[in-house]
Amino acid sequence: MPRVLIAGCGYLGQAVAGLLVADGWEVEGWTQSAESAAKISGKSYSVRAVDISQEKQVLAQTGDFDAVIHCASTRGNVDLYRRVYFDGARNLLYRFSTSRILFTSSTSVYGQNDGDWVFEESLAKPKHETGKILRKAEVFVRAGGANVVRLGGIYGPGRSALLKNVLHGDAIIDPSHDRFLNQIHRDDAATAIQLLLKQPRPAGEIYNVVDNQPILLSECYRWLATKLDRRVPVAGRSIARSASKRKRGDSDKRVSNAKLRAIGWTPRYPNFAEGMEKSVLLTFDHEGA
């Protein structure tokens, strides 16, 4: 039985774990905290708390894996970000140097802001410090033979930041600072990773993992507002200033998934509306959101 380590067994990691178990992999998941590991114990795979940012802890792990997926995420400060993404990737690469490694990055590494299409070979020069750390980690892991997936904003059952914004009254449509969003349903991100593990082992490949249809933020909010019968205010003079401050420096690009589709991946939810309608809105806890 092939063995896979999912280092960062969270929202996406657990979905990937489920698919890989069904495919006949023996899966081990790692979380940062013992609490998270305990919460997801009892699944058809083992879960342990191992902090990938701690070199000694990672190097001390026994057992080997055919594949290792860095799927850890943090919402902490830049320093924490560096530890989880860069140090974490480096530690995994050192410890599991003979494994096939897949690093989950983000489309935030594309700093383009002209709304044009970007592809895997396009310039990836992020504006924000967190994006720069991701980019540095990408370069490092690719040099060691790892593949990289650049994920768009993940949404799915129980998780949609945009839906929350609308429900909480935090959404604003600001026509002067509109931009494209590149998103991916959690289950489609998981099938992309599943497919990539079945591919022959080309080293250092990058794949964008987004749905077929980038959508303008304004369009997205209008669609949600109509569906939920809510009002999303349009920026006028009173809120334009804070909105423009918030958006300054944001990127604006349409990320292509053509490379991934060319190897046989088809998203079950090709656009945000289908994903929301067929999956998320049916199950979302509107009160608890």
Ligand X SMILES: NC(=O)c1ccc[n+]([C@@H]2O[C@H](COP(=O)([O-])OP(=O)(O)OC[C@H]3O[C@@H](n4cnc5c(N)ncnc54)[C@H](OP(=O)(O)O)[C@@H]3O)[C@@H](O)[C@H]2O)c1
Which residues of the chain form contacts with ligand X (CB under 6 A)?
7-13, 30-33, 36, 50-53, 71-74, 84, 88, 104, 106, 151, 153-154
Nearer to ligand X, 151 or 280 (CB): 151
Nearer to ligand X, 77 or 244 (CB): 77
| Tokens, residue 259 | 């490379």
CB of 106 to ligand X, least distance (A): 4
Count of beta carbons in the 10 Å neighbourhood of residue 127: 15
Nearer to ligand X, 71 or 146 (CB): 71
Nearer to ligand X, 88 or 214 (CB): 88
Strands (E), the chain: 3-7, 26-31, 46-49, 67-70, 100-106, 117-118, 147-151, 153-155, 180-181, 183-185, 206-209, 215-216, 254-255
CB of 241 to ligand X, least distance (A): 28
CB of 231 to ligand X, least distance (A): 26
Question: Is residue 21 exposed (0-12), middle (13-18) or buried (19+ Cβ within 10 Å)?
Answer: middle
CB 255 within 8 A of CB 110: yes
CB 50 within 8 A of CB 62: no
Nearer to ligand X, 154 or 173 (CB): 154
CB of 38 to ligand X, least distance (A): 10
Nearer to ligand X, 52 or 173 (CB): 52
Nearest residue to ligand X on Cβ basis? 10
Nearer to ligand X, 33 or 226 (CB): 33
CB of 70 to ligand X, least distance (A): 7
Length of the chain: 289
Can you say whether the dihedral through the CA atoms of 41, 44, 49, 52 is positive or negative?
A: negative
Q: What distance lies between CA 123 and its chain's CA centroid?
A: 20
Residue partners of 160: CB distance under 8 A and separation at least 6 = 276, 280, 284
| Tokens, residue 217 | 């933020």
CB of 232 to ligand X, least distance (A): 21
What letter represents residue 189's amino acid? A
CB of 229 to ligand X, least distance (A): 26
